[in-house]
Structure 1
Amino acid sequence: MKLKRRFKVLIVIGPRPEVIKLAPIFLEFRKHKELNTEILLTGQHRQLTDQAMKDFGLKAKYDLNLMKKGQGLEELSARIFLKFGTILKRIKPDLVIAEGDTTTTAICSICCYYQKIPFAHVEAGLRSFDKFQPFPEEINRMIADIIADLHFAPTNDARENLIASGIDGKGIFVTGNTVIDSLLLLSKKNHKFRDTNLNSIKEGKPLILVTMHRRESFGRPIKEVIAALKELNKEDVQIVYPVHLNPNVKGPVYKSLSGCKNIILTDPLNYLDFINLMKKCSFILTDSGGVQEEAPTFGKPILVLRNVTERPEGVKAGIAKLVGTNRRKILRFSNLLLNNKKFYSSMAKKKGLYGAGDASKKIVKIVKTRFLNSN
């Protein structure tokens, strides 16, 4: 008697944030024997992705290894089209799952459409309503949403965005954000930093965590932020800045901030170090979308170094403020957080804006119900 083939799920991962948000989904899928679940890496941000895969104990079945030095979006997109399209034809998955708003996600969704393979979009429905902020992410996520058969929206706001854009509500599910699953999985009470640079952090002294990497921040915007950090360096604070490897970020940051006595510059941190540094800090300056989701779990105020955000929940809740890259505005709100206890307390509130850490379980249940008529 011929055995029935297991339902084949392919999880596609590009840069590190996708490892963080898709790892708990993969681990949950693997608990179900009727599902044959594998990982494909495109190879975006190779070094950072490999470390995150190791942190979660993951191994990829397929690796496209697409990154090349100085590669532009056009070349990366073309190479994903060719290599991923070929892989799809060979392995014929029953469902492809991708996350977020990267070039990997957008191009893989189009490949699935071309081959009529069901596509599920994790973190669907986020919108800044400005196609150049963030760039190219805003358009990437819209492409993935238009194509997706299943939309896993992290919040009700995201669901409403999908409905407003004409997506059929029958395929939309509010699950929470899987990044909370990962935080709860990896966060430790007594963490020892692997990065030795962090051992010089002093207890009891205000600590500001900084991250900045977006393309729209290159040039003058990042110089404005650097100027603000140099001013903050004069205060009785500690600043930790894990610097993105992109030369448009790393070059100006190290040129201007190396040697500042209260500023610790490091390479990008492994995820375990990063989330435990978030727990330790006083507040965060960031242009990252993921950090806007993670920080509320730890009750950390966020000053968002962007003019618009596709994650308005933190702003609405009063725990995040859009300060853009204006030096004066950054300094104003940073000094309020440092020197005004009432203002700090108004922002430093733990909020479960993005779920309770059970998004992965919900996603697996939805997939099984939809495709296998099973709970």
Structure 2
Amino acid sequence: MTEKLFSPYQFKSLQLQNRVVMAPMCQYSVTAKDGIPNDWHQVHYVSRAVGGTGLIIIEMTDVEPDGRITDQDLGIWSDDHIPAFAKLVDGMHAHGSKVAIQIAHAGRKAQDASQPVAPSVVTFPGEAYKEPRALTTEEVVAMVHKFAAGVRRAVQAGVDAIELHGAHGYLIHQFHSPLMNHREDVYGQELSRFGVDVIHAVKKEMPADMPLIMRISAIEYADGGYDIDHTLQVARAYQEAGVDIFHISSGGEGPSGQRKPGNYPGYQVPFARRFREELHVPVIAVGMLEDAALAQAVIGNEDADLVAIGRGMLRDPYWANHAALELGVSKEHAAIAEQYSRGY
């Protein structure tokens, strides 16, 4: 039992030294220019690799400039981005971590866009957000190609897996949500259609044995928001289209109504377990799982295959090594850098 969180994991070509995942977290770095990773990102990500993380998911990386949440975020809309991402990936690989990247578009949540785009003219609540413009059908098709081009560049940069961001109220989520998608064309008649088209397009840019991950919000918290039965129906379409692993989060579509998000450790784990049991698919659990014993239990109880640590890993780049120490994991199962081994 003591080695569960630190047992190796393999799916297709992805071979991980442990079950610990660094969740994708935007850095909103004021030094970021034109979406290109810089020295901050190099130190930030590589330090988590030194810290023993099995899989590091690079933060939300957007397929066009106005697809970013803010102008301080990363992007991958040009071949000029490839060298900086390749350097970043090489740095993490050098210390034993495998790397995924979250490919996305913020849609109506693009705060710095002069006019955000979305499936429909439904504004995200809050003073920071502008009224979006509804994409035409032709523009939706073009957006699918932008996702594919972003994935092509990420593959060229050397990543080990791709994650599509279908959660937290961003563009793919906006399309599969009845709250945000009021279209009358094919992308409104079939709410999973945009996500399915994106999946088909990006799979053509990926090696056949490279896993495709989808992050998805299991439920919405706004009044009238969808529940997990809706998400599972959408996810089945995504799985059939080619998603290999689901990363289970929740919310992000707007302020909560009568249904509130949990504010306790592990509140999203039951969602992950239901996906795993009903879709028979590997899942990543996330959400206040930074207590090492709890993360261990999620794997030991077979609630999920991998555990993602978010804010806990912002506070502690060596979270994985410290969790191994706390759990009494033997040195051969902990990914401790030789230079630091005296400390363990």
> If the TM-score is normalised by the length of the shorter chain, which range does it land in?
under 0.3
Larger helix proportion of the pair = 1
- Normalised to the residue count of structure 2, the TM-score between the two structures is 0.27
Larger radius of gyration: 1
Q: Which structure would you say has the larger RCO, counting Cα contacts within 8 Å and 6 or more residues apart?
A: 2
